[in-house]
Structure 1
Amino acid sequence: MTRRDLIMKDISVGQRGIEVGPWFNPLAPKREGYNCLSMDVFDTETLRSRANADPHITAQQLMDIEDVDLVGSSIAIGDLIEARGGSGTFDYIVSSHNFEHLPNPIRFLNGCASALKPGGMLRMAIPDHRICFDYFRPITRLSDWIQSFYTDQHRPSLANVFEGRAVFAHYLDGGRTRYDFFPTTPAETVRCDIQLAEEWDFWASRVRAHGSASGFGEDEYVDAHCSVFTPASFELLVRDCGFLGLTRFAVAEVASQGYEFHASLQPVTDTNDLRPEDYATIRTGLLHRIRNEEAENSGAFQKCRQSLEDTQAELRRLKLLYGVT
């Protein structure tokens, strides 16, 4: 199955859907018959103008940009759908590499839940921070999500921007600097060459210029990854929010797929379903999985794995040499 097939599995062309931020690579394009609204913070004309000015975007990719039906921030998806009278009428919402940019994930999840009909599904592809430039960043905490929700954060904070820039990672492939990580990228090749003092100066100068901790003008938006995850840490965040009554999504599936993971979430009608009696046991299991996932890409783990593979290869050689089956 292709990546697109995996994300769109069990979604049919005739179902009613929303795709968040498809840019020039829509998963459910109207040209193929999908009954899907396209959502973006920019309108169609602006998107195509920005793409036309980008030398890395091909003519074909420019043509693949969908007409935008919903213009606005994705954290306001619930409000935009409600304004169209469409709450509770959509079969699916799909999003690829958008969720990590959201300054207020809880508000987005609640908006999606209100837009979906019973039995609907939110499908997302999300980068695994161990296999991208967020390699050195700590995973996002539940308190980060709650804080952004209660302060109604509507754009990345200076802290989000600083955190992403201060440990921005790349790796050395021979003499070449690369930013497209792989699960097998050797840990010892990963580097962070950012000038920390310059990033601190950016933060401090913005605070001084605007006379407030926000550091941004009223209409200014600086993009950043506001959240970073491993598959288990994402699942824990969603389950915790459901348990606390902050959202009403159940986790249907979270599956690793190379440099990313795919998540399927389904809104529930009875939030008691999100508070199982054995939740402490479920939660402890996820916390252990997070620890194990974070260790998998460490240099120490890679050395142990290589040592084991070498030992197994030597054992196979000796068995062949001495005729042992």
Structure 2
Amino acid sequence: MKRVLLKGHVPAVGVVRSQLARVKRKLTRPTQSTNVSPGTSEPQLEDRVFSSRDDFCARVNAYAAEHSALEIGPLGSPTITVPHAEFFDILPTNELRIKAAQSGHDPEKVPNIDWVSPTGDLNIVTRRYQLIYSSHVIEHQPDLVRHLQNTAQLLTDDGIYVMAIPDKRYCFDHFFDESTFDDVVKAHDERRKVPTQDAYVRSVAQATHNEPGRHWAGDHGRDHDRVDEMVVSASKAYKQANGAYLDVHTWYFTPESFVSILAQLHEAGLSPWRVRKMQPTLANTFEFYVVLDIPVDSRGTSNAGSQAETFWNAQRNGWTTTLELRHHQVAVNHIGFVTAAPAANNALGIFGDVWTSSVPGFSNTGSMGLFADPRIGWLQEVCPEMSGLRVLELGPLEAGHTYALESMGAEVTAIESSISSFLRCLAVKNALHMKSTFVLGDFTKSFGDWRYGDLIVASGVLYHLIDPIDMLVKIGNSCDRVFIWTHYFDPNLDHWAEPIRAMARTKWHVSASAKVHYAGEEYTLVPQLYGEELAWGGFCGGTATQSNWMLREDILKLLRQLGFTHQEIAFDEPQHPNGPSFAIYAAKAEPDTKLKSN
């Protein structure tokens, strides 16, 4: 079947507006890398794939080597270098080389531009491609919808559109408001061909520095001293351009907002594209990566979904998605079928080297003794009535503590947001014949139907959160007893163990610490960056590329403020090799209950 293209299909403004409320209710914003399953429009979580921009660009180039490819807007640093690739730009080759030299790029690296349109009109391109690629281009498009519709016409039926997009939070766009679906629709309604005066003036007067490391550390620069003067100057320059194209950012995205806008445009019939894959911004960088394809309902029959998988999952230096379950320790053929005889350890073996804990009776797992953890043994000592207790566990990882709690007679429901960890929990449940319930989802959003239990267990969770204070408040509103094991930040680095002490000044950004107030009390949050940890296939951190650590005394103070006046402390290790840590069992009790410490 011939695919249906959207060129010229523009719903009436009133129709689009009437759909907006329904679309916004239907769609959510994913916060992790996303994958959209074939035949659906709902984004699903996907693990990190690319460890750096170099890794991403190498994958683009390797895919282009085997497919017809068009790169849009290469300037002086094209990503695609294969001989058969073609290039589109608003300037011809000679003028682009002059511009490249003026902007600090090597003019010799400017490729031969095959397609030139001063207005960026992709309709001049008469070929079709299996890969369209752009880097830091889409945010410049005055009419985003028109760009998406035009690129769709340049695609073969198995084609994909791969993009690198700046994250406004970590570049010179930091102080600009995020673009919205309404903004995008308005620009399309107005048929914009050049940036608005407002966009141009903002780019001159409101832009800040472009150093992602400083942004990640909380240093976003400050407002210009001469804003009024700059606004007047920029307004004058815009008018003097007399309608000519001025190259500035017109859209300001985060990974979440981009995914949401694209989904809403597709739902409203304004764009055939969907975000098939997305990897969020890595720590100390300022861009995220997406793969778009056109689903079957917009193009007829197609295998674009499989091509998106091919691009995303192709191995490079050992990198695949975690869901591809790399380094199998069980025989698997080339099309993903297990060829070994049925055995209980097969399900655990498919996860290979991503295991953290040692599952009892299975040598093909990790090394940590989480299934016989003395911290859970201590919990039973301070909370002896474990039998029959309803326990809500947050972040079970690989079901080690779940297994121990169940063995003590507790009825456990565990919520896990990592797909890979969730699947390992299910494999363990099956292998060890457990009765506990595992639920996939982000417990920071809501505990859902499982929010009320007799005891909440949150081991290895708090220090992985962006907002640990909000998490503790949720816990305080949901139960009367809690067990927490967590790392905390000690401002006196002399107390820290080596070698983590040497990393503390770069991994934790003390200068970017935030003071947060809750119910009249002040609390400190210290940003922690995962950095290279994100590259490990078994990464078991939080849902973002950074987290915020609390101070030890702040954790205890907030628990008391929430009514947990009975507190018992153990495993207090200020020199833990991964950072200071302790365990606490806290219960809501009479005000005269005394604090114990083991």
Q: What TM-score, normalized to structure 1?
A: 0.74
- What secondary structure is seen at the aligned counterpart in 2 of 1:108? helix
**Structure possessing the higher radius of gyration over alpha carbons:** 2
Distance 1:204 1:2 in 2: 38
Distance 1:94 1:240 in 2: 22
Structure 2 counterpart of 1:67? 112
Distance 2:165 2:272 in 1: 20
Distance 1:126 1:5 in 2: 15
* 1:125-140 → structure 2 map (5 Å cutoff): 125-140=164-179
Structure 2 counterpart of 1:226? 250
Could you tell me which of 221, 224, 242 is aligned with 1:217? 242
**Which AA in structure 2 matches 1:111?**
N
- What secondary structure is seen at the aligned counterpart in 2 of 1:245? coil
Could you tell me which of 27, 48, 58 is aligned with 2:97? 48
TM-fit CA distance, 1:166: 3.1
Structure 2 counterpart of 1:80? 124
CA contact (8 A) 1:74 1:108 kept: no
- What secondary structure is seen at the aligned counterpart in 2 of 1:103? coil
- What secondary structure is seen at the aligned counterpart in 1 of 2:274? strand
CA contact (8 A) 2:204 2:234 kept: no
Query: Cα deviations across residues 288-312 of structure 1 (Å, max 9, x unaligned)?
Result: 8xxx89xxx9945895245725539
Distance 1:191 1:315 in 2: 41
Distance 1:74 1:21 in 2: 12
TM-fit CA distance, 1:221: 2.3
Distance 2:295 2:161 in 1: 12
Structure 2 counterpart of 1:182? 213
Distance 1:270 1:25 in 2: 36
Distance 2:154 2:102 in 1: 34
Q: What TM-score, normalized to structure 2?
A: 0.42
**Residue 195 in structure 1 maps to residue 239 in structure 2:** no
Structure 2 counterpart of 1:316? 573
**Residue 270 in structure 1 maps to residue 320 in structure 2:** no
Distance 1:115 1:250 in 2: 16
- What secondary structure is seen at the aligned counterpart in 2 of 1:229? coil
CA contact (8 A) 1:102 1:226 kept: yes
TM-fit CA distance, 1:185: 3.3
Length, aligned pairs only = 277
Query: Cα deviations across residues 93-145 of structure 1 (Å, max 9, x unaligned)?
Result: 10011111111111111111111111211111011011011111110011211
Structure 1 counterpart of 2:53? 3
Distance 2:180 2:67 in 1: 35
- What secondary structure is seen at the aligned counterpart in 1 of 2:245? coil
| Gap regions ≥5 residues in structure 1 | 171-178, 274-284
Change in CA separation of 1:315 and 1:123 when aligned onto 2, cut-off 3 Å: farther
Change in CA separation of 1:319 and 1:247 when aligned onto 2, cut-off 3 Å: closer
Distance 1:201 1:257 in 2: 35
Structure 1 counterpart of 2:525? 304
CA contact (8 A) 1:20 1:74 kept: no
Structure 1 counterpart of 2:72? 20
TM-fit CA distance, 1:187: 2.4
CA contact (8 A) 1:106 1:149 kept: yes
Distance 1:224 1:145 in 2: 16
Name which structure has the greater RCO, CA cutoff 8 Å, separation 6+.
1
**Which AA in structure 2 matches 1:16?**
S
Change in CA separation of 1:265 and 1:256 when aligned onto 2, cut-off 3 Å: same
- What secondary structure is seen at the aligned counterpart in 1 of 2:153? helix
Distance 2:191 2:115 in 1: 21
Change in CA separation of 1:66 and 1:319 when aligned onto 2, cut-off 3 Å: closer
Structure 1 counterpart of 2:28? none
TM-fit CA distance, 1:257: 3.5
Distance 1:319 1:91 in 2: 51
**Which AA in structure 1 matches 2:192?**
Q
TM-fit CA distance, 1:158: 0.5
Q: Quote the sequence identity (%).
A: 21
Could you tell me which of 73, 76, 86 is aligned with 1:37? 86
Query: Cα deviations across residues 227-276 of structure 1 (Å, max 9, x unaligned)?
Result: 00110000011000000000001111111243210011002341499xxx
| Gap regions ≥5 residues in structure 2 | 1-50, 301-441, 446-465, 468-511, 517-522, 528-547, 556-570, 584-598
CA contact (8 A) 2:98 2:107 kept: no
Could you tell me which of 126, 129, 147 is aligned with 1:108? 147
Q: CA RMSD, aligned part only? A: 3.5
Query: Cα deviations across residues 34-85 of structure 1 (Å, max 9, x unaligned)?
Result: x21111100011112233445x33xxx22211000010157521x112xx3x
Change in CA separation of 1:51 and 1:165 when aligned onto 2, cut-off 3 Å: closer
Structure number having the greater helix percentage: 1
Structure 2 counterpart of 1:174? none
CA contact (8 A) 1:160 1:224 kept: yes
CA contact (8 A) 2:168 2:253 kept: yes
More displaced 10-residue stretch of structure 1: 193-202 or 220-229? 193-202
Distance 1:303 1:112 in 2: 47
